[in-house]
Amino acid sequence: MGHYLLRRLLTVVPAVLGISVVLFAVLALAPGDPFAEMALNPNVPPEVQENLRKQFGLDDPIWQRYFRWLLAMLHGDWGFSFISRVDVDTLIWSRLPVTLAVIGASQVLALMIALPVGIYSAARPYSWFDRIASTLAFVGFSLPTFFTGLLFILLFSIKLDWLPFVYRADLAATGAEWWVQQFRQSIMPIMVLALFQAAGWTRYVRSATLDVIRLDYVTTARSKGLKERSVILKHVARNAMIPVVTLVALNMPAVFGGAVITEQIFRVPGIGSLLIDAIQRNDTPVVMAVTFVSACLVILFNLIADILYGWLDPRISFR
């Protein structure tokens, strides 16, 4: 186990370096620069742009810029945003809580929907419940989030006037009032994301459970006279959950990365909207930091998923 972990960690280093090179190269080769807004303003002399290019080191060759970035990164210096001239880590930290809360809540909600529905459907395949659940699941993951988001706004904000559609990270209220307002403004983005995610996961849980439910040991458990409830929960669900755990673990980096489109629709000031703004304005240090951290998290959670897998399923050994 120790050896396995060490070997995996060693392979992470070149992978992370490779990712950073690719990301940096793509960003450097992408057209545009962060000064588009200034260019249109006749009062900003071109010298200012040139001066800023020089200050930000945009005129240096790509490889020089890359090594400068890498070196700073190793020192824990993430650089600063070309647009707001604020340190990148400050920007990310200011956006992270919102993303964790909204995306995190939606993932938990999605699991809370997907697990019972998926398992129950598998326990009674082709029953009415299963058919309805399957139909809804297909509808759920065929509808893109930007569509359901707009639909929700149209229904709950405009037609019914129940919920606000602009999300605010700084609510003026305190105490119970704060929770009420927070609930009202978060429910739509959370539901949009949760329903989409739950739809996919339900199908997955169902098929994973179906795989297990037909195995001999389940029949044995039943013939021992165990109650159906404990057969499903203790014997079937536990084993069926092994692949699901991997799937969920692999999805965790998304909690950091945010949901670009949903965040844009509801004006949720999360990592996703930070990333899209940064991309649109060619704010390389921010794009680099967000994408790089996401990539690292993917690698990390892959590793965690593999270890979890072995822990849950003793038949798998690490060598």
Partner 1 sequence: MEEAELRALIEDVRTEKLPRRSFIERLVGLGLTAPMASMLLMHAGVANSQPAPVYKGTKRGGGGALKTLWWQGPTLLQPHFAGGTKDQEGSRVFYEPLAIWDNDGNLVPILAAEIPTTANGGLLEGGKVVRWRLKKGVTWHDGKPFTADDVVFTWEFVRDPAAACVTIAVYKDVTVTKVDDYTVLVSFKKPTPFWATSFVAAEGMIIPKHLFSPYVGAKSRDAPTNLKPVGTGPYTFVDFKPGDIVLGAANKNYHMPNRPFFDTIEMKGGGDATSAARAVLQTGEYDYAWNLQVEDEVLKRMEAGGKGKVHVVPGGDIEFIQVNITDPWNEVEGERGSVKSKHFAFSDPKVREAMSLLCDKKSMQEFIYGRTGFATANFMNNPERFRSKNTKWEFNIDKANALLDAAGWKRGADGIREKGGKKMKFVYQTSINPTRQKEQAIVKQAAQKAGIDLELKSVSASVFFSSDVANPDTYGKFWADMQMYTTNMTAPDAERFMDQFISSEVSQKANKWNFRNISRYVNPEYDKLAESAKSELDPVKRAATYIKMNDMVVNDFVIIPLISRPRVRGGNLKLVTTLSGWDLDFSALQNWYRESSPG
Q: Which of residues 258-317 bind partner 1 (CB under 8 A)?
A: 263-265, 267-269, 273-274, 277, 280-282
Euclidean distance between CA atoms 119 and 203, whole angstroms:
10
Is residue 156 a contact point for partner 1 (CB under 8 A)? no
Nearest to partner 1 of 161, 216 (CB atom): 161
Nearest to partner 1 of 130, 263 (CB atom): 263
Is residue 89 a contact point for partner 1 (CB under 8 A)? no
Of 125-133, 154-162, 221-229, 252-260, the window that binds partner 1 (rule: CB under 8 A) is: 154-162
Euclidean distance between CA atoms 252 and 231, whole angstroms:
30
Euclidean distance between CA atoms 76 and 73, whole angstroms:
5
CB of 275 to partner 1, least distance (A): 11
Task: Give the CA distances from residue 27 to residues 72, 125, 208, 258, 288, in Å, rounded to whole numbers and listed in that order.
Answer: 18, 49, 40, 20, 8
Distance in Å from the first CA to the final CA of the chain: 7
Q: Binding partner 1 by CB under 8 A: which of 24, 66, 78, 80? A: 80
Is residue 247 a contact point for partner 1 (CB under 8 A)? no
Is residue 44 a contact point for partner 1 (CB under 8 A)? yes
Are the CB atoms for 64 and 266 separated by under 8 Å?
A: no
Is residue 161 a contact point for partner 1 (CB under 8 A)? yes
Is residue 61 a contact point for partner 1 (CB under 8 A)? no
Interface with partner 1: number of residues (CB under 8 A): 55
Tell me whether residue 172 is exposed, middle or buried, using C-beta atoms within 10 angstroms of its C-beta: 0 to 12, 13 to 18, 19 or more.
Answer: exposed
Q: Binding partner 1 by CB under 8 A: which of 72, 86, 112, 155? A: 86
Exposure class string for 79-99: b at 16+ Cβ within 10 A, else e:
bbbbbeeeebeebbeebbebb
Are the CB atoms for 173 and 274 separated by under 8 Å?
A: no
Are the CB atoms for 202 and 113 separated by under 8 Å?
A: yes
Among 300, 199, 205, smallest CA distance to 244 is for: 205
Task: Give the CA distances from residue 68 to residues 15, 51, 78, 237, in Å, rounded to whole numbers and listed in that order.
Answer: 19, 19, 11, 51
Nearest to partner 1 of 45, 116 (CB atom): 45
Nearest to partner 1 of 22, 39 (CB atom): 39
Nearest to partner 1 of 59, 216 (CB atom): 59
Nearest to partner 1 of 44, 312 (CB atom): 44
Of 48-56, 116-124, 196-204, 223-231, the window that binds partner 1 (rule: CB under 8 A) is: 48-56
Of 47-55, 63-71, 111-119, 196-204, the window that binds partner 1 (rule: CB under 8 A) is: 47-55
Q: Which residues bind partner 1 (CB under 8 A)?
A: 31-33, 35-53, 55, 80-81, 83-86, 91, 94-95, 153, 157-158, 161, 164-166, 168-170, 172, 263-265, 267-269, 273-274, 277, 280-282
